[in-house]
A and B are shown apart, each in its own frame.
Chain A
């Protein structure tokens, strides 16, 4: 990949050969052509525009390179929503890049599954090993799972060319319930105009810690100008500290709080009557359903005083339309979660915040702009006759679950029972189901039964330790990805471009799946020379070159402006993709499927005496289960602890720092207690991502508590999302 067009000389070398640590460089300077002689001078820094991949947010970055080494990563100041900021993880990209624990060559297993014993192999050997086994199975017997990435196109093309319908993302263990609620209610995903919101209510969406930099920065800026943030969480988090009001509901009762807010807003006529009439469907049914959910009722459910609930509802109504109830992100919580998200969306509809500044908006993507990204040419995919193993999109099973995501949690059950038909091979890409999903014992059993398990990753993950083959993908700093869309109020595209060549014998997805396809006889689907050719084909419809896009690193069509559809005309038409074309407060689709068509309350289960609610969350310096072994981030937070309130801790004889054992039935995890009043008495908490088992993760292996390991698989019948908060745990001193 030619990166010269974006490399720019920034600084000359100080006398004595000591490199001066200066740089960035506004993009104005980036736009100047490089001087060839200076670019070659040792010690000179160049800057490459790219896109971060330390989490799923994909912030635009500037990468500083000196003598062929990445020396620093900074945020791209041209992006207005981040202003040059990146988070700790983004800053630590270099620590991943040069980590000695990375897998640097393809590996083929020689030991027992899980032992982590492998031999080094060439790419051709690894491809042949995989291809030989894939040729022996039926197309639908292959499953592929991934965390979504800008490189997805290659794995997806391989899976579709192979002919399997069993394509999964990790979404059902994270935001799937929210996504389906958005689909049912608004017809598609949406975004929140955080920086302009005057009154934000967040139901456990821990913005300041489960970081999406543009969101956190927008909210902080809003708070600084006097906006209010009401935050509900049983645990004190950095968001509690930032919030103007922090409330501690009993776990799983957020829906009661929202229903009571709806009741107050409707009963006191605080809603936007014109908006409701023009843009929503089912207001009468909603009003009838929530009539009984008074703040007094909700107070008994949530443990939050009725006056507080009423005040929040009134303040919310008074702030319209710049009032937003956050529909959240992680929603694999309780069985009432889907209706919680629906109820939150109804609350937003009542205040008419759709498509106005400080409200909720639909992304103005390239599709709406009229010109879309091109693609590389490939033959039509073979017709798939087999039904998906998980029932996603299938009538009578999980018709509302998007088939692009599926239910990744079904794999152990399907593999072990062979029903509805056997799965024999699994490719896990940038995805560690063993660390991320519930019921570890069954997952391991299933891994052992597979004919083929392939892990495509930068590390030997927990799943990787059980794999037959590990294919070492290079990091985002070593590869160019297909152009990605990053649209918001206006269409926008970004380019992740290679900064330095792949380290060791690692490869990008564009080459990995091309090589695998050739070995499997599917090379025709990957008939491109290299990634540069793909990027050029993508950009061709815009008359844009990769070099031009790389100058700033992102691009918006010059005639496209940030747009709120209802800003100047509150009665402007807004086309929704729901069956009715309106915001569906009442959903006929849900009614037909036998689910509550308007949100109603289902209480969460209550722990039996002596057991605890168990909640998990993410910390600001780690992403899911992907980053705990990265040196700098590991140093910041090497392990997790079990948060427990002093009252139950006292009864159990547990002091701060004591060893504890957490049990669910016969399964247990061991760790260290953090005795703190920052959590409700009946609830324990840990950060997610620990309890790791892979010998390839030399720093984090064996540290901390992995609560997923203890959980059974519980699936929401409506959305297909995993439910991971309804498992209760016993805690004892160890």
Chain B
């Protein structure tokens, strides 16, 4: 993945996961894996299956792109940073591979890519997004459960679900202000 540049953009990205539409098929997991050339044994995004007896939907799980991201705070070289548009990315050139971020992330979103020598994670397919495309997971979603929201766009439908409170972050009590929002319950 190329080193993302800090572009001054008038976007504020977030991801909306409508769990009512998620069928747990793992299409997003594989699309992400292939798109981002994630090495064998690692996943940037996975589906957590519902527990036995649970009537809850499966849950797509990846980097939450937190506004107050612990990974950003602990990074000694500022390799991990949050772009102005809200996407948390890693500058591979600055990363020294100390793995503090892996430990710091309360959502367990990071893995260490031995080949690249960096603790990698979902970057919301930043290159695709910069090119005006949807992230790979959104593009491939069978149930159309995923949507890239732009909170800077007053007409964006997915953003409206966040503003209305219909879509909520997971574990807000952790205080990291995630940018991935879930619609839960029918």
Contact = CB atoms under 8 A, between A and B. Distances in A.
A680 B53 CA distance: 12
B53 to A, nearest CB: 5
B89 interface: no
Contacts of A84: 139-140
Interface string A603-627: 0000000000000000011000000
Contacts of B142: 85-87, 211, 213, 216-217, 220
What band does the interface of chain A fall in when counting residues whose beta carbon is under 8 Å from B? 35 or more
Nearest to A92: B30
A726 interface: no
Interface in A1-44: 11, 14, 16, 18, 20-24
Contacts of B23: 208-209, 211, 216, 220, 238, 242, 620
A651 to B, nearest CB: 19
Given A88-B29, A92-B30, A211-B25, A21 B140 contact: no
A632 B125 contact: no
Contacts of A223: 20-21
A636 interface: yes
A621 B23 CA distance: 12
A313 interface: no
Interface in B18-72: 20-21, 23-27, 29-31, 33-36, 40-41, 50, 52-53, 55-58
Interface in A66-98: 71-75, 83-88, 90-92, 94-95
B32 to A, nearest CB: 9
Interface stretch (B105-113, B126-134, B147-155, B165-173): B126-134
A621 B26 contact: yes
A241 interface: yes
Nearest to B125: A21
A22 B133 contact: yes
From DSSP, what is the main secondary structure of chain B's interface residues? loop
Given A14-B2, A631-B40, A22 B26 contact: no
Given A84-B139, A220-B21, A221-B144, A241 B55 contact: yes
Interface in A185-232: 208-209, 211, 213, 216-217, 220-221, 223-224
Contacts, number: 129
A16 B93 CA distance: 14
A151 interface: no
A677 interface: yes
Contacts of A217: 142-144
Contact of B25 (A20, A71, A95, A208): A208
Given A87-B25, A88-B29, A216-B142, A94 B34 contact: yes
B141 interface: yes
Contact of B52 (A73, A241, A677): A677
B27 A208 contact: no
Contact of A241 (B30, B50, B131, B144): B50
Interface string A440-476: 0000000000000000000000000000000000000
B155 to A, nearest CB: 20
Contacts of B128: 21-23
Nearest to A679: B52
B173 to A, nearest CB: 26
Given A22-B133, A241-B56, A620-B25, A632 B30 contact: yes
Contacts of A124: none
B34 A73 contact: yes
A636 B53 contact: no
A88 B58 CA distance: 15
Of A22, A90, A213, the most chain B CB neighbours within 10 A belong to: A22
A217 B27 CA distance: 13
A669 interface: no
Contacts of B20: 223-224
A676 interface: yes
Given A88-B25, A220-B143, A20 B2 contact: yes
Nearest to A23: B133
A238 B139 contact: no
Nearest to A85: B142
B131 A91 contact: no
B24 A238 contact: yes
Given A88-B26, A631-B40, A676 B21 contact: no
B27 A85 contact: yes
Nearest to A636: B26
A238 B27 contact: no
Contact of B27 (A20, A24, A83, A91): A91
A22 B41 contact: no
A292 interface: no
A209 B131 CA distance: 33
A208 B30 contact: no
A91 B136 CA distance: 10
Contacts of B145: 220
A112 interface: no
25 contacts: A20-B127, A21-B1, A21-B36, A22-B127, A73-B34, A83-B144, A85-B142, A85-B144, A86-B142, A87-B25, A87-B27, A88-B30, A91-B31, A91-B33, A92-B30, A95-B34, A208-B24, A216-B25, A236-B53, A241-B57, A242-B23, A621-B26, A635-B40, A677-B52, A677-B53
Interface of A: 11, 14, 16, 18, 20-24, 71-75, 83-88, 90-92, 94-95, 208-209, 211, 213, 216-217, 220-221, 223-224, 236, 238, 241-242, 244, 620-621, 631-633, 635-636, 676-678
Given A85-B144, A220-B145, 4 more contacts: A23-B131, A91-B34, A92-B34, A223-B21
Interface of B: 1-2, 20-21, 23-27, 29-31, 33-36, 40-41, 50, 52-53, 55-58, 125, 127-128, 130-131, 133, 136, 139-145, 186
What are the 9 A-B residue pairs with the smallest beta carbon separation, nearest first? Answer: A22-B131, A91-B30, A208-B23, A620-B25, A220-B143, A18-B2, A88-B26, A88-B30, A21-B127
